[in-house]
Amino acid sequence: MRKLNVEELNRLTTAEFKNTVKTPLVVILDNLRSQNNVGSIFRTCDAFLTEKLYLCGITAVPPHKEINKTALGATESVDWEYCGDTLTVVRNLKHEGYIVLAAEQTDRSVLLQDFTVKNGNKYAIVLGHEMRGVDQAVINECDGCVEIPQFGTKHSLNVAVSGGILIWHFYRKIMKI
């Protein structure tokens, strides 16, 4: 067994990425405070051909040293937009036909493995602040909440880790892999 070198990975160029059909999945960052988390989510969005990334509220935007450190160039490939108000993004996406889901633990959240991703639908996932989670007003506007099951002593995962799990889950269900 031998590790592949970068050339053998056959990755898209940024130009090829821009012209590739994207996964009908949008990620919304609701007031993330850590630029490292933002950069990590950019990189995950690149890995799974996410349609767009919205940076909302206090979420830092590129160019930023800490974002660039973890994004490793994904700020150039992933389509992104800043909006001061997360609710505006959620409402606009719902108007465009997206099913908007908050990644949050609520009294009506659906465990990720029990959520059915329906063929032909467009989805948006809201990831929240590292300490406070998704704002309640945003949850109220969402079509539902999905929750990643956990079995240890902690009540939450790092937001970049949660984003990775959710984006991968939706990618593989939408793309049927």
Q: What is the distance between the alpha carbons of residues 77 and 18, in angstroms, rounded to a whole number?
A: 6
pLDDT of residue 119: 87
Secondary element (H or E) of residue 108? none
Length of the chain: 177
Alpha helices in 82-158 (DSSP H): 86-95, 136-141
Widest CA span of the chain, in angstroms? Answer: 51
pLDDT of residue 177: 79
Q: What is the distance between the alpha carbons of residues 107 and 137, in angstroms, rounded to a whole number?
A: 15
- Name the nearest CA neighbour of 102 among 117, 124, 120, 130: 124
pLDDT of residue 113: 96
- Name the nearest CA neighbour of 125 among 40, 49, 25: 25
Q: Which residues, 6 or more positions from 10, have their beta carbon under 8 angstroms from its beta carbon? A: none
Integer-rounded Cα radius of gyration of the chain: 16
Which structural domains are found in the chain, ordered by start? Answer: 25-174 (3.40.1280.10)
* Per-residue tens of pLDDT for the chain, all 177 residues: 999 998 999 999 999 999 999 999 999 999 999 999 999 999 999 999 999 999 999 999 999 999 999 999 999 999 999 999 999 999 999 999 999 999 999 999 999 999 999 989 999 999 999 999 999 999 999 999 999 999 999 999 999 999 999 999 999 999 987
Q: What is the distance between the alpha carbons of residues 157 and 149, in angstroms, rounded to a whole number?
A: 10
| Tokens 């930023």, residue located | 64
